[in-house]
Structure 1
Amino acid sequence: MRQSANLGAGSDRPARRGIHPALFYAMFALLLGGNALQGTALLMAPDIARLLSGQNEMIVTAYEDRLAQMRVEIDRLHSRNYAQAGDINLQLQELSAQQEVLLEQHQLVKALVTKADQLGLAAVGDFDGQAPDLVTTASGNPDMAATSASVAQMMDETQQAMSGIASAATERTAGIVDELSKLGIDVDLPEPGLDGVGGPLLAVEAGAAAASPMINDANAVMEALLQYKAARDSLQLAPVHMPITGNFRQSSGYGNRKDPFTGGRAFHSGLDFAAPTGTSVLSAADGMVTFVGERSGYGKVVEVTHGNGLITRYAHLSGYLSHNGQQVQTGTPIAKVGSTGRSTGPHLHFEVHRGDRTLDPKPFLDTGKRILALLN
C-alpha cells in the first residue's frame, strides 16, 4: 500500500520538456544568417573600404579647398596690411625728413638770433634746436596728421623768426642811414645781393639731396644783419653822442647871440653845457685825438678827428684825460670841465667842424637821440 501511495504521489509532478523544435530551427536559421552576413561583409570589405576612402577624400578635398580659400583671404589681408604698413613707413620717412629740415632750421635760427643779440637786436624767441616728437594716438599708433601739423607749424614759426630778424635789421639799418644822411654822413654798407656761384659741371647723382632753400633764406637774413652791423659801426664814427653826462644844462646854443662880455651881437660856434668843474668830458664818437693844448679864447682844448671829415672840439677845460695821437671810442673820458679861456664860469664848449667850417652840434645830438630811441 505504501508503494502504491508513493506511486500515486509521483504522478502529480510535471513532466520534463526539451527545446521546442520550431525555436531550435529559428535560432539555427538566425545563426546561419548572421554567419552568412559576416561572410558577405568580409567578402565585400574592400569595396566598403574604397567607399569609405572616397568619402574621406571628398571631405579632405573640401577642407583643402576651404584652407586654400582661407589662405587667399589671409594673403589678401597680409597684402593690405603690408600696404598700410608701407604707407605708414613712407609717411614716417617723410616726417623724419621734415624733422631733419626743421632741426636744420632751428640751428640756423639759433645762430641768427645769437648774432642779432650781439648786435643789440631784441631777442626774437627761444630756439632749442629740437624737432617735435612723433605724436601717437591713445592706442599707441602714430598719429600722422597731428605730427605732420606740429612739424609744419614749427617750420612756419622758424621761418617767421628768420623773417622777423631780417625785417628788424633792415628797418634799423634804413633808419640809421636816413638819419646820418641828413647830416651829410655817408654810411659804407656791404654791397647787397652778392650771389656769385660756380663750380664744375657734373652729372646729377641719384639720391643726392637738393640744396635747401633755407640756406638762401638764412643767407639773406645774415646779409641784413651784416648791413645792420655796418650801419651801427658807422654810427660809432659819427659825433652824435652826448659829450657829457651827469648834472648839467645847456646854457647857450649855436649861432648869433648876445656876447656875455661886450653885450653886443656875436656869433657863437658851438653848444655850451654848464656843469661843475671836474665833470668828465666824453668823446662824442670813435676817433683819434689830434690836438691837446690851448687855443686863443678857448683856453684848454682837446680835439678829436672822426670819419667823414668831421672834427669835434672840447674847450674851456680844467684838465686833460687824453693825449695827442690816442685812439678813443665813443664815451671815452678825454678831459674835465673847467672855465679856462674866455669864459664866465665852468662849462663845456662843444663844437663840430667839417674842414674849416663849424656846424651846429644840435642836429648831431638830436640825431643821436632819435637813433638811440630807434635801437631801443
Structure 2
Amino acid sequence: MLIIGGGIAGISLGRELSVRGHHVTLLEAEPQLAYHTSGRSAQQLVLGYGPPAVRELTDITVEMLLDQQQALAQPVVWPSRFLMVGTPGEIDEGAYPGQLRLDAEQLRHLAPELRADRFAAGALDERSLRTKAEAMLDWLVHDASNMTVRRNERVVTAAYDHGGWTVTTNHATYRAQTVINAAGAWADEVAERCGIAPLGLTPLRRTAAILDLDDSLRPDRPMVMKADGYYYRYEDPQAILASPQEAVASPPEDAQPNPEDIDALIHEIQADTTLHVTGVRQAWTGLRTEAPDGVPVVGFDQHPGFFWLAGQSGYGFQTSLGFARLAADLLVDGTAGDWVTSQSVQDLAPDRLR
C-alpha cells in the first residue's frame, strides 16, 4: 500500500497498518514530515467538538492515546480544560454535549482576566486535553517499523492498470495495489493526478501566534474561546498561544500569516481581557481542509484501489488514531469492526459526496 501525505493522518495510518504486519510506503512531498497543517497545530484536543462522527472517533482516539502512552517515558497528552465564553444566548447556541454551564461569577474565578462587561456566561469542558504534537508524531513514526518513509517525493502522475497503481514522483516510480490519499490541502489535486474526480475539499486558512505578555499566567488556566471567535491558551508563564480562527478559502500552498490578522487578534483580546500583549514571538498559518458538509472523508472511492483519508479540518490530531483504525479495517478487512458505529462509517464515506 502507498500512502500519499506525511501529516498526522498518513503517519497514523502508516503506523496502524505497520503494527498489523503490513508493509506500507509513505510519500511526503516536503523535506520533512508534518511540514504543513500537522506541524502548525494548536495542540488541544476538544472532545465534544465537531459533527457526531468526529465526536465518536475523538473519544476513541483519546481512549487509545491514554492507554497506549502508558508505555512511553513521557506522556503525549494530558488534561487541559477548555472554556467557551460569551453571552448566555451565545453559550446556549454554541455549547456542545458534555460542557458545564457557568455563570459570570464562576467564569471570573476560572479566568479572572475576562472583562465583566464583555462576558456573562461560559461552558467548561473538563475532558479536554493538551498534546505535544511533535512528540506524538515522533512516537507514531518510531512505532511504525514496517513503514518506509520517502521525503521530497511529490506525485507527478499515476495510472491504474492490471489491478494496481503505477505512481510516478519527481524522483521515482512506485507500484502498489492500493493508493491512500492523505494529502491534506492537496488531496483533491492528488486525486486528479490519479484520474479520480475531486470531492470538493476546500483548504481554509487558520492563523496562530505566540504572544508575549507583561504579566504571568498560571499553567492550569483553561484554554479560552470566545463564542464564534478567537481562542487563546497558556503557552508559558509570559505568553499565550492565540488564534483568530479565521476560515478563509485558500489554494493549497505553504500558507503564511497576514500581519493585519495578528494585529486585529491582539486588539480584540486586549479589548475583551486585562491581558496586555507586549510582542509577537512567532506567528504561522496552516490550512485545515474541509469537505462541503464539514465531515471528514474516510473510505474507498468508487474507483478501485483508491482510498480517501482527508478533510479532517481542525480535528486531525484528536481523531488520528480512531481514523487510522477505521481506515485500516476498511483497507485490510473490507469492513469496519463493531468498535465503531455503522452511522459514523456511513457519515465518513466518500460516496456521500458523489
TM interval, short-chain normalised? under 0.3
Q: Greater RCO between the two (CA within 8 Å, min separation 6)? A: 2
Higher strand content, 1 or 2: 2
Bigger Rg, which one: 1
After TM superposition, the score normalised by the length of structure 1 is 0.18
Higher share in helix: 1
